[in-house]
Amino acid sequence: MIKKLIGLSFILLSIQSFAQKNNTSPYSFFGIGEETTLKTVEEISMGQIGTAFNSTYQISFTNPASLAHMQFTTYTLAVENKALRIDDGTETGNASTASLSYFAIGIPIGTKAGFSFGLQPNTTVGYSLTEEFKNTQGDLTSLNDFNGEGGTNRVFFGLGYKLPKNISIGLEAAYVFGNIENTLLNRRDGVQLATMHKTNSTVKGFTAKAGIQYRTKITDKLTLKAGLLANLKNSLSNEGREVLFSLSNTNTGAISPRDTLIDNSFKSSIKKPLNTSLSVGIGELNKWYAAVEYSFHDPLEFTDGVLNNNTKVSYEKASRISLGGFYIPKINSISSYWQRITYRAGLNYKQTGLMVDNTTVNDFGISFGVGLPIGKQLSNLNMGFELGKRGEINNSLIKENYFNFRLGLTLNDKWFNKRKIQ
């Protein structure tokens, strides 16, 4: 019990890490930031599959129906490091950031149900962009500096239950909250005053998803798994203030506020459509598993606010296809530690739904990782690696080559054991 309390205290203290800057991508400029991959290190390492996946000793964030298969109380915590190489066709740059990815606890309820709860980032904002304007002689005439930080987090609670005929169902509810700050500083050659446009937003609202899974034996060793997930329609509110003011501008770059030109409050909403995921996989229990997954949704909608006033940005239908799995040489090997390691790999291709200057922003990534057993228990230290490319050098867009490293800890325990009377 003492170990449990120490672990819970560490988790509660770690909540501070969600307040730090956890993005450096210019694409986090759009909307309420870059959407976080709401999956575990294990799932991301398998190409982001998860709709049909379930385990007796691992939490799956994708489909709450998987919680019905849990047999051990599970604590999971992860951190990540994101490294980017950014190319706009003229110049290149590098950036990186490290942050806490998530923490969660999953608890079985008897043999037919289980639930989980936790906290993880939902969207992240962290960009610093410069736009230059020059005359025909090549002299700099105007400069725009864009900066943004913040994002949203989600607190979630999921429940899964086993039905007859090898079917399990699940529901998850989440509360999304966070703050975002965006600034635009405009400087002009020969003009004494610069201007700054600043928006501070508070985003909040509820989301929900429902899932179903089915599994059946097709041979003595092979099991077929199928899953369906529906992230239900939801609407997040976005409230804040929009301020435009002038600044004294010196050659040294120091600035001080002068006159306020605009100071207005605003209220808007972000409407997310139904997001559907389908997956089918095949494997041998505690040996190997391979699956394919496809998800799709209609365009996002931004209404009545500052998020939809950029005429160069629009949204279209989005989709993702993933392929991946894992392999364990011998999970109960006594003589060889290496045979108990879980090896994971996968790939995915996304049409993000974001369009800039009528150019679609796509994303392709490959991933791999390992699950290192801790002691003789089912607990694991999970390492995941992800390499990919997003965007392209076209119509003023940029190309991002990224390398993400994730480190997750999964601890298992048995709660509510019945004591035997000697």
pLDDT the model gives residue 105: 95
pLDDT the model gives residue 415: 59
Confidence check: pLDDT of 3 > 70? no
Residues in the chain: 422
Nearest CA to 372 among 323, 408, 404?
Answer: 408
Confidence check: pLDDT of 304 > 80? no
What CATH number is associated with residue 155?
Answer: 2.40.160.60
Average of per-residue pLDDT across 371-395: 88
What is the domain count for the chain? 1
Give the pLDDT confidence of 201-253 residue by residue, as tens digits: 999 999 999 999 999 999 999 999 999 999 999 999 999 998 888 887 654 45
Nearest CA to 32 among 178, 235, 242, 209?
Answer: 178
Confidence check: pLDDT of 8 > 50? no
Give the pLDDT confidence of 323-347 residue by residue, as tens digits: 999 999 998 888 889 999 999 999 9
pLDDT the model gives residue 396: 67
Give the pLDDT confidence of 253-299 residue by residue, as tens digits: 555 677 888 888 888 899 999 999 999 999 999 999 999 999 999 99
Report if residue 298 sits inside a domain: yes
Kindly report the average pLDDT of the chain as a whole number.
87
- CA distances (Å), origin 185, targets 56, 248, 311: 53, 12, 19
Say which residue the tokens 């060889």 belong to: 336
Buried b / exposed e along 208-227 (16+ C-beta atoms within 10 A): ebbbbbbbeeeeeeebbbbb
Q: How far apart are CA 26 and CA 146, in angstroms?
A: 10
- Between 305 and 30, the higher pLDDT residue: 30
- Between 177 and 20, the higher pLDDT residue: 177
Cβ-based neighbours of 246, under 8 Å, separated by 6 or more: 193, 194, 195, 196, 257, 258, 259, 261
Report if residue 420 sits inside a domain: no
Average of per-residue pLDDT across 354-371: 91
Report if residue 419 sits inside a domain: no
Residue 267 CB neighbour total at 10 angstroms: 11
Report if residue 129 sits inside a domain: yes
Cβ-based neighbours of 69, under 8 Å, separated by 6 or more: 54, 55, 56, 114, 160, 162, 168
Report if residue 418 sits inside a domain: no
Confidence check: pLDDT of 418 > 70? no
Cβ-based neighbours of 18, under 8 Å, separated by 6 or more: 99, 100, 119, 121, 153
Band of pLDDT at residue 307, cut at 50, 70 and 90: low
Residue 181 CB neighbour total at 10 angstroms: 14
The token pair at 66 is 């998987």
**What is the extent of the structural domain holding 155?**
2-413
pLDDT the model gives residue 12: 44
Report if residue 422 sits inside a domain: no
pLDDT the model gives residue 15: 46
Band of pLDDT at residue 9, cut at 50, 70 and 90: very low
Give the pLDDT confidence of 122-178 residue by residue, as tens digits: 999 988 888 778 887 777 788 888 888 999 999 999 999 999 999 999 999 999 999
